[in-house]
Structure 1
Amino acid sequence: MKKIKLLLISLILFSTSLCAEIINVTILGSGNPRPHVNKYGPSILVKTNEYNLIFDVGRATLIRLKQVGLNVSDIDKIFISHMHFDHIVGLPDVWLTAKLWQKESLNVYGPKGLKKFCSDMIELYKIDALYRNKGNLSLKCNEDLHNVELKEDLIVKRFSVNHGHVRNAYGYEIIHKGKKIVYSGDTTISDNLIERAKGADVLIHEIIYAPDDFIKKNKRFQKVYKSHTNVEQIIKILNITKPKLAVITHDLIFFESPKNILKMIKDKYNGEIIFAEDLTSFDIGNTINKFNYESYR
C-alpha cells in the first residue's frame, strides 16, 4: 500500500514538473499599420509560471490582454522591437492604465529613441496623469540592455535585424528551460535572425506580399517592400532554420489572400506553418498545443 502511495505521489510530482515546463505564447495583435476590426496592432504575450512578457505594444494591446484574462498590473516587462508607431502606439495606454491600477513599476526595453519617447509621453500626459492618480508608478525605459535575465532559466536576448531605413531595429530570442521562441520584429531577410532562429520551437515572423506589377508601378512602396520579408525570403529562412512551428504575423498582403500565400510557402517548405490571428495561442512543452482564445470568450 505504501508503495502505491509513493508511486501516486511520484506521478503527481512528475506531472506537476511537466506542467511547470510549459511556456505559453499568445499573439495579442496580428495586424499592421492599417486599422482592421479583427486584427489589432502587433503585440505578443509570452507567459511562464512566473512572468508575463509583452513584445511590442500595438493598437489595443490592453483590450486583447483583457480577453486572455490578464490586466495591466500582470505585465512584468515590455520589449519593443523598433520605434515605428504601430509597434508603440499602445504604450501610453499601458502606462496611464498602469497608474490607475496602482502598479508600482513598469519596465520597458527597446532601441535608441525609447527614453525620449517615454519622457515626451510623460510630459504630454502630465496634467491627465496628475488628475487621475498621484501614485508612485516608476516608469523605467531602458535602451542599453541586450540581454535581460529574469531568472536562471528565463532570458530574453535582443539582436539586430535589417528593417531598411530603421537603424535600430531588433528581434528577440526568448529561452526558457530549453525552449526557444524567436520573434523577428520588422525585418527583411537577416543573417542575425537566421542564426538565432535555428532549431527554434516557435519562430514568429512577419511577411509582405504584392504582385510584381504593383511593386514596379509604386516607387514609394518599393522602399517598404524591401524593408520587409517577402514570400521567397520567408521560404529560404524557414528551410534553413527549421523551427518546430512557424507563425506568420504582422502580414502586409496586397491583392491576395493569406490562404493563397500560405499555399505558396507550403509548396516549397514542408514544416508546420500557420498564419496567426488575434488571440492565436500556443502551449509549448514536449509538444506544441495550438488554440484560440476566442473559444473562451
Structure 2
Amino acid sequence: MNNIYVTILGSGTCVPCLKRSACSLLMETGRSKLLFDCGPGTMRRLLEAGVEIYDISFIFLSHFHPDHSSELIPFLFANKYPDISRRKIPLTIAAGRGFSDFFQGLKKVYKDWIELPSGLFNIIEMDNKNPDFKVFDDFKLNTMPVEHNDESIAFRITNDSGVSAVYSGDTDYSENLIKLSKDANLLICESALPDALKVKGHLTPSLAGKIAEQADVKNLVLTHFYPECGQADIKKECSKTYSGSLFLAQDLMKINTGLNEILSDKSGCPQ
C-alpha cells in the first residue's frame, strides 16, 4: 500500500518554546513532499527530519497569521542560495483566496529576494468560501473553509491507494471540518487551549474530539498547543468526546498514516 507519512514539524504556537516550534507539518506521498504551514522554526525542523527545502514541492498555507506563514520569507530566500540551480522541482504554494495579494505585499518589502523563476514557482488560490478540489500527480487535494480567518481553509490529502490525511489549520468548531474529515485515516487537528480556557476561533480537546468522533476518523492527533495545555490533562478532556486512537503531537513525531502507526514520538528537544 502506498502510505502517507506525516511528520509533525511544529506542534506549538506563536509563544516561543524550546520543545515546540510554531505550526508546521510534512506529508510524504509517492514522490511528493508537502509542507503544511510554515511558522518560525520550520526549516530547522525539516533538516532534523532529514529533508531539505529543495525537496519540498508544495507549500499549503491554512491562513496568513505569522505563526503559520512567517517562515515563508526565509524559505523562499534560502532557495536562491547560492543560486536557484539547487531546486530541481517546481515549488507550488496553495492557500485561500487573497494569497496573491498577500504575496504581492511581501514582494513590495522583500522585492526579488523572494522571487523564484516562473518555471519553478506557482501560486494556486483555493476557494475559501466553498469546497475546492485539485488533482496532482501523487495525490488529490480537497479543501473546505473553516472558522478562523476569512482565508482559512483545512486540507485533505488522498493518495492513489485511498489513504487520506486531514490538516485542520486553525479553526473553531466547524461542520465543514467534519465533512472534510469523514472516514479519514488521520486527522491532525488544532487544540489550542484546555476546555476551561476556550477562546473564539480555536478548538479545545473535547471540541476537537467531537469533530473527530462525528467524522469517524481512525486516528486523531492534537496539535497547536499553547503553554496552558501543559497544565491540563488534554487526553482525558478529548477522550470525553472521542473514542478512537488519540495522540498528542510532539515536534518530529512521525506517523505512518496507512498503517495507523506512530513511527517515532521522540523529539529530542528539551522538556
Q: Does 1:33 align with 2:7?
A: no
Q: Give the equivalent residue in structure 2 for 1:193.
A: 177
1:33 CA displacement: 1.1
Separation in 2, partners of 1:119, 1:270: 45
How far did 1:127 drift? Answer: 6.8
Q: Secondary structure at the match of 2:121?
A: strand
CA positional deviation for 1:250: 0.6
CA-based RMSD of the aligned residues comes to 2.5
Residue 94 of structure 1: aligned partner:
75
**Partner of residue 141, structure 1:** 123
1:210 deviation in Å? 5.0
Task: Determine whether 1:281 maps to 2:254.
Answer: yes
CA deviations on 1:93-123 (whole Å, 9 max, x unpaired) are: 1101112262264210101332123223233
Structure 1 pair 228–278 and aligned structure 2 pair: CA distance change class (3 A): same
Report the identity percentage. 28
The separation in 2 between residues aligned to 1:106 and 1:114, in whole angstroms, is: 15
1:135 Cα offset (Å): 7.1
For 1:75, the equivalent position in structure 2 comes to 56
Q: Is the 8 A contact 2:4 2:164 kept in 1?
A: no
Consecutive unaligned residues of structure 2, counting only runs of 5 or more, are none
> Which residue does the alignment assign to 1:63?
44
1:219 aligned residue? none
CA contact (8 A) 2:206 2:239 kept: no
| AA in 2 matched with 1:119 | Q
- Structure 1 ranges of 4+ moved more than 6 A: 134-137
Which structure would you say has the larger Rg? 1
Deviation at 1:211, TM superposition (A): 7.0
1:261 to 224, 234, 248: 234
The answer to whether residue 232 in structure 2 is matched with residue 246 in structure 1 is no
Is the Cα contact below 8 Å between 1:83 and 1:111 reproduced in 2? no
Q: How far does residue 172 in structure 1 lie from its aligned partner after superposition?
A: 0.3
The 2-side partners of 1:188 and 1:121 are apart by: 28
State whether residues 92 and 122 of structure 2, in contact with CA within 8 Å, keep that contact through their aligned partners in structure 1. yes
Structure with more helix by fraction: 1
Which structure ranks higher in relative contact order (CA pairs < 8 Å, sequence separation ≥ 6)?
2
Cα deviation digits, residues 170-206 of structure 1 (max 9, x gap): 0001101211111111111111110111211100000
Distance 1:135 1:291, change over 3 A: same
1:167-206 matches, within 5 Å, as 167-176=150-159, 177-206=161-190
Structure 1 unaligned regions, length at least 5:
1-17, 216-221
TM-score (norm 1): 0.79
